Amino acid sequence: MASPGRVVLEVRDLHAYLYTRWGVVRAVDGVSFALREGETLGLVGESGCGKTMTALSVLRLMPEPAGRIVQGQVLLEGEDLVTKSESEMRRVRGRRISMILQDPQTSLNPVFTVGSQIVEALRMRYADGVDALRRLAEEALRRVKVAAPAERLRAFPHQMSGGMKQRVVGAIAVAGEPRVLIADEPTTALDVTIQLQYLVLLKEIQARTRLAMLFITHDFGIVARMCDRVAVMYAGRIVETGPTRALFRAPRHPYTAALMASVPRMEASVERLPSIEGQPPLLHHMPVGCRFAPRCSYVDDRCRREYPPVVPIGPAHEASCWRVEPSPPSR
Amino acid sequence: MLESRAIAAEPLIRVENVSKHFPVTRGLLVMRTTGQVKAVDGISFTIGRQETLGLVGESGCGKTTTSRLLLRLERPSAGRVLLDGRDVHALTGAALREYHTRVQAVFQDPWSSLNPRLRIRDTIAEALVVNRRVSKAGRLERVEEVLHQVGLPLGAGGRYPHEFSGGQRQRIALASALASYPELIVLDEPVSALDVSIRAQIMNLLKDLQARQKLSYLLVAHNLATVRYIAHRTAVMYLGRIVEHADTESVYRNPLHPYTKALFAAALPADPDAPRDDLILSGEVPSPIDPPSGCHFHPRCPFALEQCSRVDPVLRAITSDHAVACHLY
Amino acid sequence: MSTEASSRGDLARLPWISFSIIVVLVVAAVFAPLLAPHSPTEQSLPDKLRPPAWQEGGSMKHLLGTDVLGRDVLSRLVYGARVSLTVAAVALIAGGGVGLALGILAGYTGGRVDNFIMRVVDATLTFPTILIALLLAVSLGQGLGTIAIAITVIIWARFARIVRGEVLSVKTRDFVALARVHGCSHLRIMAVHIVPNVLNTFMVLLTLHIGFVVIVEATLSFLGAGIPPPTPSWGQMVSDGRSHIASAWWLSVVPGGAIMLVVLVFNLFGDWLRDWLDPRLRQV
């Protein structure tokens, strides 16, 4: 794994709400994390927990006009993105922070060739002529291991398979040599064997460019494979963060532990899985205390009254739970 | 061919050499058939009573088409599907109505599988209304019974689908499959559209129902861990053919076919310290319109022999409960 | 659950102004004999070309003035609403019904039946609307029935095309496949599983086409192929007033304004109906 570099992206106490006609949806409700050069942070959670909204707020791409960042900072190499103007943000997106979305089908424009879409992305970064840009585009496709890149530049998205399209999306995302790459479930639409090829490719790109990656997923298998650190989100907040190995060995938040235990294993047979009963709270009807309290097997009165503080439990490992005992600082 | 575990004389379902080919047509005015998509290409298996057969493979391998053939949503191009020894595609009249009560289905997307305009109780009672002369009171009683079995409150019957979450909707879909006292439920990716914390709930429910209601399942899934948890036997499909078929434990402990090995190696265990013996396959699944000659897997197979490109390997039993279609064995 | 709150919120968004105008129109059309201050056909030459009440020379007796023959414009307007709305109702029920049935048949059956129906739809839509109506009016003779038939012939194809598209998308939903697994007949699948799911779109389509029908009827009457005089119709009134536009503006402007208003309020209402019926906009 990469040695930790300097912090590239830091999110501090971010609150991003959606103002809908049914009320205020507190999609992101006090999220903080830091992302270092060459590092992959996994953002894990179920649908509706706010992980995608967190990513969109970092890029200031919340759905208009309902979405708003109400509080907090997003520091990219020390600059606060929250206070930037829209035209300044356009120079950030694609060049300094890029994003890969879940569905390669909708990420590419069906009426333009793959080549022209990559060239478009490159044009934002390089002021070269069209011929030079096309050579760069070919190089970009070669780097994401697309066979026969020169011919592929002339292809339209529908002429490619899902895995191939997602590679093109990857090529476009890293074309501007960004410092941060946000990958939002990039392999969910792909088959398992293609998924592994793609994950290996992302790792190779990261090793070469020292990209910082924010990897959004609900799959613990991908987390175990890809991430250096993990942040587990539940109902708009991060409930536990820690180094991947520590978190898998000893998950401390009851939600993390229960979620991990409820996933069936490929490598072992079990007679019965423990399951989490109930379902996540609606984001506009949040419980008062700990948001996991209604589903937690260790719940007590304090959990229902008050949201627990962040408790340090090990090197870079912390959880928000009243039951967790703080460990003395290890150094 | 491999027999089901059940010792019963005749398995509940017997699929004999079934193929499904879809014509590929070209042309605007005059349609010409330019090829055949061999979605399913001569497969055979059985499902015993109270048994679950897992069908795994990547998209386009034919597992969903297979499930649709069992459900009579497609007619086979060749071969037969037998329920209790009778060809289900030849049924008519009362026998057909009986088939419709005995075989049911639950699909992947709970947002698409419930009619948004029907109350839950009407959706659940549909199979009863269509096939059985059950009094209205009897229907309502049965609806309440199955709602209880899937763990939903009785009041749910009078409400509409949009008032429920994905997990609850999948319970409703299951209730509607259960209503007509089926013997086989085809489960096409029953949990993959659900949230991680909901999946275990539904999988456990499926297991409980099987034990209590003496159900058989055909489980179509791409998630190998799900199949290991639920299925008694597992068949691995590649480009319309079954390449490996055995007792689930035996497949997972000792995968034989190179494709099965690659598929299992690509599944990522939820353990950062798991050994990584990556058998990364090159290339992608070829088009089923013009599949490779011989063994369909040979162009991607790291162990391909000279004969693999010429001779179709047959599915052969290696041990009493483990069959594989590969020239290496 | 927030369904209660959301339906209350949506009702608050009901376009009250449009809705009230629609209610007023319908009431006027139904109770025309009770509401109209005068007979719409009664002539009174001494009172001819009276301006509306608020203009100089106008009187409270004729609120919106009188026409060349001294007939009360307000009364003619009220009776005209009757004609417009009757034509709209008949044409939309007939044309919409035919379109709905054929659209569902085409979409559900697919293949040759679909191909045939859709080619007929294409052919119908390529004819200029007014030309068909004029031809029919000439061959069948003037009258309310002719206009209704003419508009039906034109309008069914628009319904059929959109309903078919909707059926094609509903058909791919899993609950339709499950209905087949349950053993439902084709008829039952169409009636229980398809029709209720295209009905929303159909209702919106109906509302949005009321304006269209009113305009077609007015145009035909304006061209003299519509309702024969002396029965008042808005198109006829605009046409009659044309030659006096400089001296008696109200003769054309009042019925013209009425046509515009009707089209506008039904379109606004249709837009609201579409949002209100869309479950995606209603649920969280």
User: According to the model, what pLDDT value does residue B87 have?
Assistant: 95
For residue A324, the 8-state DSSP code is P
Percent share of chain A, pLDDT over 90? 48
Tokens for C249, please give them: 């503006």
B172 touches chain C (CB under 8 A): no
Residue A148 has pLDDT above 60, yes or no: yes
Tokens for C26, please give them: 């319908």
Q: Which of B115, B123, B133, B174 to mutate to test the interface with C (most CBs of C within 10 A)?
A: B115
Helix H, strand E, coil C: the string for C146-184 is HHHHHHHHHHHHHHHHHHHHHHHHHHCCHHHHHHHHCCC
Q: In Å, how far are A282, C83, C280, C283 from A22, measured between CA atoms?
A: 12, 43, 13, 9
Nearest residue in chain A measured CA to CA from B193: A47
Q: Please, are residues C28 and C261 in contact by the beta-carbon 8 Å criterion?
A: no
User: According to the model, what pLDDT value does residue C13 have?
Assistant: 65
B75 touches chain C (CB under 8 A): no
CB contact under 8 A, B73 and C182: no
Choice between A215 and C138, residue whose per-residue pLDDT is larger: A215
Tokens for B84, please give them: 């209790």
B206 touches chain A (CB under 8 A): no
| Residue where the block lists tokens 């490929």 | A266
**Chain C closest CA to B5's CA: distance in Å?**
27
Facing residues of A173 across strands? none
Cα angle at A166 between A165 and A172, to 5 degrees? Answer: 90
User: According to the model, what pLDDT value does residue C280 have?
Assistant: 54
Q: Please, are residues B283 and B273 in contact by the beta-carbon 8 Å criterion?
A: no
User: According to the model, what pLDDT value does residue A203 have?
Assistant: 92
CATH among 1.10.357.10, 1.10.238.10, 2.40.50.100, 1.10.3720.10 for C81-283: 1.10.3720.10
Distance CA(B276)–CA(B87), nearest Å, equals 46
- Ranges of beta strands (E only) in chain A are 7-20, 23-36, 40-44, 67-76, 79-80, 97-100, 180-184, 212-217, 229-234, 237-243, 310-314, 317-320
**Chain C closest CA to A158's CA: distance in Å?**
21
CB contact under 8 A, A284 and C2: yes
User: According to the model, what pLDDT value does residue C10 have?
Assistant: 53
Q: In Å, how far are A121, A127, A128, A146 from A131, measured between CA atoms?
A: 15, 12, 8, 20
Residue-range domain boundaries for chain C: 81-283
Provide, as residue numbers in chain C, all residues whose Cβ is less than 8 Å from the Cβ of B134: none
User: According to the model, what pLDDT value does residue C2 have?
Assistant: 37
Residues A253-291 have pLDDT tens digits of 999 999 999 988 888 888 889 888 888 887 777 888 999
CB contact under 8 A, B73 and C174: no
Query: Across the interface, which of C173, C178, C197 has its CB nearest the CB of B105?
Result: C178
Query: Across the interface, which of C3, C174, C180 has its CB nearest the CB of B112?
Result: C174
Distance CA(C239)–CA(C218), nearest Å, equals 9
Tens digit of pLDDT per residue, chain C (284 long)? 333 334 444 555 667 888 888 888 888 888 888 877 777 777 777 777 777 777 777 777 777 877 877 788 888 888 888 888 888 888 899 999 999 999 999 999 988 899 999 999 999 888 887 787 788 877 887 777 888 888 888 889 999 999 999 999 999 999 999 999 999 999 999 999 999 899 888 988 888 888 888 888 888 877 877 777 777 888 888 878 888 888 888 888 888 888 888 888 888 888 888 777 765 555 43
**Chain A closest CA to C8's CA: distance in Å?**
10
Q: Please, are residues A320 and A308 in contact by the beta-carbon 8 Å criterion?
A: yes
User: According to the model, what pLDDT value does residue B32 have?
Assistant: 74
**Chain A closest CA to B205's CA: distance in Å?**
11
Q: Please, are residues A182 and A10 in contact by the beta-carbon 8 Å criterion?
A: no
Provide, as residue numbers in chain C, all residues whose Cβ is less than 8 Å from the Cβ of A26: none
User: According to the model, what pLDDT value does residue B6 have?
Assistant: 46
Tens digit of pLDDT per residue, chain B (329 long)? 455 554 445 799 999 999 999 888 776 666 677 778 889 999 999 999 999 999 999 888 999 999 999 999 999 999 999 999 999 999 998 999 999 999 999 999 998 999 998 999 999 999 888 887 788 888 999 999 999 999 998 889 999 998 888 889 999 999 999 999 999 999 999 999 888 888 999 999 999 999 999 999 999 998 999 999 999 999 999 999 999 999 999 999 999 999 999 998 888 888 888 877 666 777 778 887 888 889 999 998 988 898 999 999 999 999 988 999 999 98
Provide, as residue numbers in chain C, all residues whose Cβ is less than 8 Å from the Cβ of A22: 2, 5-6, 9, 284
Distance CA(A183)–CA(A101), nearest Å, equals 6
Facing residues of B103 across strands? B184
- Overall pTM > 0.95: no
Q: Read out DSSP for B253-299?
A: HS--SHHHHHHHHHSPPS-TTS-----PPPS-PPPTTSPPSSSTTGG
- How far from the centroid of its chain's Cα atoms is residue C226's Cα? 16
Q: Tell which C residues from 245 to 284 touch A, by Cβ distance under 8 Å.
A: 284
